[in-house]
Structure 1
Amino acid sequence: MSFIVFLLFFFLFHSSIIISVVSKCSKSFECGRLGYLEFPLSNSRGCGLFTVHGCDSVNPTIQLEPGGQEYSILNISTNKFLVKDHSLQSLLDTNSCFSFINLTLPKYPSISFSFSPNLTMFECFNETYKSERGRYFENYLNYTCSLIALYYSFPTANVAPPVPNGDGLPSQCHVIQLPVKSNYDQQSPENVFDLFTSEYTLEWNLSEQCSECQRGGGQCLTNDIGEFECKR
């Protein structure tokens, strides 16, 4: 009799462990006005690829990487969310030259990011090469901010196409992309900072490896050396 009781206890104990492990990362979770969200979003550390905070508040936020910047989520759809970048807004409000830092997004082996709408610009330093740039950026709009010279054109403008990246660029120049207002190509503001916005759409796309892992009941992770790992 005692042996049967032992087996029953053993079965119940280990079943509870299995259930707790399986249910640790729920398939979806409720997040206030945003409704139910699911992978790759999560509200628990160790689940999903990026974490949503403040689901009980009016303005939930999201972190795209541990310890990284938090963005306010204004709206969300299947694989896109409209965010507000408060750090960028502070720079734009003060017409800071640091506004023209390339918007970089985290890189993961299991997911890729893009943002829109955006404007490609050419950021150049060192006035020594100013005459050389004139040949490359003829007919481009330009703006000087401290030691930075910016060259850009609108897609609808009747100008030469952007110069190629890499070896084709003049010395001390590189390509940057920044979020712009949706009607930016229909206006020519006196203040170039008025072109840009801190509210833009972030889109994510899972890799085929991660999609297969998810369909098989696994969890997409990044290991210690930055490689994809499917945890089952």
Structure 2
Amino acid sequence: MSAPGINDPHTAPDFASSALVTIDVQNDFLSDSPYGIPGTTEVLPALKAAVSAFRSAGRPVIHVVRLYDAASGDVDLVRRGLISTGVSIVAPGSKGSGLAPGLAPDDAPDLDADLLLSGRPQRLGTDEYAIFKPRWGAFYRTPLQELLGELGVNTVVFAGCNLPNCPRASIFEASERDYRVALLSDAVSRVSDDALSEIGGIGVHLLTVSALSDRLLPTGAHP
């Protein structure tokens, strides 16, 4: 099945009602970290440009993060053994769990691990939030859908860390909930042509950050 056209009435992004969702862009997942994801540091400039574009347009930004709490054991199975040995990755309250440099607003507070682990969103700035996800997908056991509803969002634009895992899972969850979905192909790590072709086949629109910026307009400036 071919990817949808940008004017497909059922899937075309509605940027006036869109939100940017960044996935797992945290210090411990940067390229040079001991358990980092290759290519993540390298896409930070594009990620920052995307965040800046959404802020300038007055559209919401939601940073979805992982927190591996060894004490609770609430960790996905494939990493449970590693965390149980005492390895610290995005541990609650650690520097490694924080958002990558330059991603959050300049005056944003540090991530509040207790608040996030309780399942509530943390406000980081005007229409900018962090939420915690316990598994791959950004909608599973999280307040994301409720928050998007409160913000009047019908289009979710994804970017972030490690396309084969958490962004991909989140994209499928969004599609299952009938959101219009876009992916910033130059602002996500571990991209492959096969992966882009596969998600394009479920109606996901593939955009570059520069193409996104051309389509985003400040709130109230849309015709």
Q: For this structure pair, what is the TM-score category when the shorter chain's length is used for normalisation?
A: under 0.3
The TM-score with structure 1 as length reference comes to: 0.25
The TM-score with structure 2 as length reference comes to: 0.26
Which structure is higher in RCO with an 8 Å CA cutoff and minimum separation 6? Answer: 2
